[in-house]
Amino acid sequence: MKILIFRTDIKTKKKFKAIKPFFNKHPNISNWSIDIEDIDNVLRIEATENLIESDVINLTKTHGFYCETLKD
């Protein structure tokens, strides 16, 4: 299991609900959350070793949202 952290533009509950089905159905994501109160709207994903950052970025961007890896 690994943790992936991203900065997004998912700022509202409406946007959260729009992306929710895609993360919930993804076979390599076991748990995820978005902190819409944080300035970076942090997306935190618990995933299998098979999921890489570019997969999450592409999935998010495909559905119309901004996403980038959040550096430490």
Which of 1.20.1250.20, 2.102.10.10, 3.30.70.100, 3.40.50.1820 is the CATH number of 2-69? Answer: 3.30.70.100
pTM confidence score: 0.92
Q: Which residue has the higher pLDDT, 34 or 71?
A: 34
Average pLDDT, the chain: 95
Mean pLDDT of 5-23: 96
Residue 66: left if φ>0, alpha if ψ -120 to 50, beta else—which one?
Answer: beta
pLDDT in tens, 50-71: 999 999 999 999 999 999 999 8
Taking the CB of residue 20, how many other CB atoms lie within 10 A of it? 13
Model confidence at 10, pLDDT cuts 50, 70, 90, reads very high
Domain ranges of the chain: 2-69
Is residue 42 within 8 Å of residue 35, measured between CB atoms? yes
